[in-house]
Structure formats: C-alpha cells, structure tokens
Structure 1
Amino acid sequence: MIDIREADPTSDALRPVVEAHFAHSETAGPAESNHTMDASALAGPGMRFWALYEGNKVLGCGALKALPDGTAEVKSVHILATARGRGLARVMMTHLADHARVEGTSALVLETGADHLSYYDAARRLYEALGYSYCGPIYGYEADPNSAFMRLDLKPAE
C-alpha cells in the first residue's frame, strides 16, 4: 500500500531519496541552470516536504515552497529508480495539488528542464497530462534557455 506522509528531509531515513534526487539533477543539465534544493533547504521556512512510502520503505518525495504571490512551487519530486514505471510520480503530484488546493493556494508552478534537455521529457509529459501549461519565468527565476516553466491553476476545494 502506498502512503504519503509529511516528513523531515534531513532525517537519516530520507537521506537516500533526497541524495538520489540531488545526484539526478546534477547530471541533467548545466550547473548554472540547476535549481535543486538540498535537504536543509527543503526543511527551511515556507517549505512542506512529503515522503512516499510502500510499507516502511521510502520510494520517493515531493515538496511545496510557498511563494509570496499566493502560488506554491513544486520542488524535488523524485521517485527512486527501482520504483519508477508504477505511476508514483503522478500519485505524488496529485497529492501536492490536493494539499495546495485545500490550503487555498491559487496555482502550482514549477521549473523543469527545457525541451532540448531530453532528460526531462518524461517529467514534462507528466506535467502536461496533469493539466500544467507552459508560462514565463515564475517567481524567483529569470528566463533561462535550459528551463521550462509551467503552471497549474487551482480551483478552491469544495
């Protein structure tokens, strides 16, 4: 059974998934375009972090960063390589959207690799399938040829 729990990204139990995400991002594009947060940043002010478990085994993670414009940035969605292909990234992304909607967030935004960085093809296809649309640079970013920015407007929870 899959379970998503709010968690501390600096904990020893979550170190492998956070480090795997950081390592994955470091190899995906140029260093100047890498906006991956380390565990201490993921535990910082305005951040909410969740771990995805199957039983007691951590399989992935995801986070939201509250932004001053009423949106939240999706950060550090990662599924361990051994658990990929099961739709778990979609499960995490849906969890983040549901949580943000309940909290009254107006939209989710994200930065990912641009279309010439094929490393991010699967991620962009998932975001598109979930209803995200491409947009200009989001809060805190500047235009970057290695970045694609996306937005999902959220309707209030009923």
Structure 2
Amino acid sequence: MQISVADPAVPDVVALLTEHLADMHATSPAESVHALDVERLRAPHVTFLTARSADGELMGVGALAELGDRHAEVKSMRTAREHRGAGVAAAVLGALVDAARVRGCTRVSLETGTEAYFAAAHRLYERAGFVDCAPFADYVEDPHSRFFTLAIDSQ
C-alpha cells in the first residue's frame, strides 16, 4: 500500500468521497454531517492523502485540517468497501498523525457519528490511542457527534 498526498478531485477519489457523503447523510441528520466535499478538501490548510495498492487501485482516503495553535483535525476518513478489514484505515490514520507531528502539532482531534454505523470507526480511533473529548474548534454538543483527541509529541 502506498500512502501519499494527492488531489481529491481525481475521478476515483471523487467517487469514493461522493459515496462517503451519501452514507453520512443517510446515517446522520444534515446538521450533524461535518464531512468535507472535494472543494473544501482542496483548501490550503488541508492535507489530503490517498492509499493505493501496488497497481494504483484506490483503497482509502483521509485528510488532515490544520486548526491553528498546534492542533489538527482528521477529516474524511474512508476505506473502499472491497478493502475494509485490511488495515487501510489504520495505515491512513497513522500517516495523518505522522503528518500532524511533522507540522509541529501536539494534538489531533476528530468528530465522528454516534450511530451504530460508526462503531468500527470508534474502535479504530480507540486502538490508535484517541480518547473521548469535548467539542473543539467550531463544534458544539450534538447527540449525533462523538469527539476524540490524541496528544502527540511534535518533532
């Protein structure tokens, strides 16, 4: 698996992100969906990563948004259906945390849903050392949102 910085506007990534947004809207009320669309993932403060197989097949994606004050947020984590359970999400999450560390961040946080659909994501974040936290940045308390954070040492 090759994980690298990429443009989220390429066709296979757009398809995966479209599926991601559709699933988020199908499982959470619209006001509780915080996933970013392609244009917002192209913002200067966002680092977008893809995970691809040796033959170039898209396996998964993830993004890191710098929030300021040495704090970053994980955004738009998604693994292609045919690659779920193969460690793609853990590898992308690890690369995002590493990217935050290189940028001098001391904390990485994220927001995800609370519905049963998100149980696998909760386990992934907990295995990676993330712990529950209060809303951060512009988020507010929401029964459909769960917040996690991870303290990291910067390089």
In the alignment, what sits opposite 2:82? 82
The 5 Å alignment of 1:133-148 reads 133-148=131-146
Gaps of 5+ in 1: none
The Cα of 1:13 is off from its aligned counterpart by: 3.8
The Cα of 1:19 is off from its aligned counterpart by: 1.4
The secondary structure found in structure 2 opposite 1:141 is coil
Gaps of 5+ in 2: none
Letter in 1 for 2:142: D
Q: Which runs of 4+ in 1 moved over 3 A?
A: none
CA distance in 2: counterparts of 1:85 and 1:13, whole angstroms: 20
The 5 Å alignment of 1:36-75 reads 36-55=35-54, 56-75=56-75
Count the aligned residue pairs.
154
In the alignment, what sits opposite 2:108? 108
Q: TM-score, normalization: structure 2?
A: 0.95
CA distance in 2: counterparts of 1:37 and 1:109, whole angstroms: 15
**Contact 1:20–1:80 (8 Å) recurs in 2:** no
CA distance in 2: counterparts of 1:101 and 1:70, whole angstroms: 9
In the alignment, what sits opposite 2:2? 3
**Contact 1:109–1:149 (8 Å) recurs in 2:** yes
RMSD (CA atoms)? 1.1
CA distance in 1: counterparts of 2:83 and 2:21, whole angstroms: 17
CA distance in 2: counterparts of 1:119 and 1:37, whole angstroms: 19
CA distance in 2: counterparts of 1:20 and 1:5, whole angstroms: 21
In the alignment, what sits opposite 1:124? 122
The Cα of 1:45 is off from its aligned counterpart by: 2.7
Q: Percent identity?
A: 36
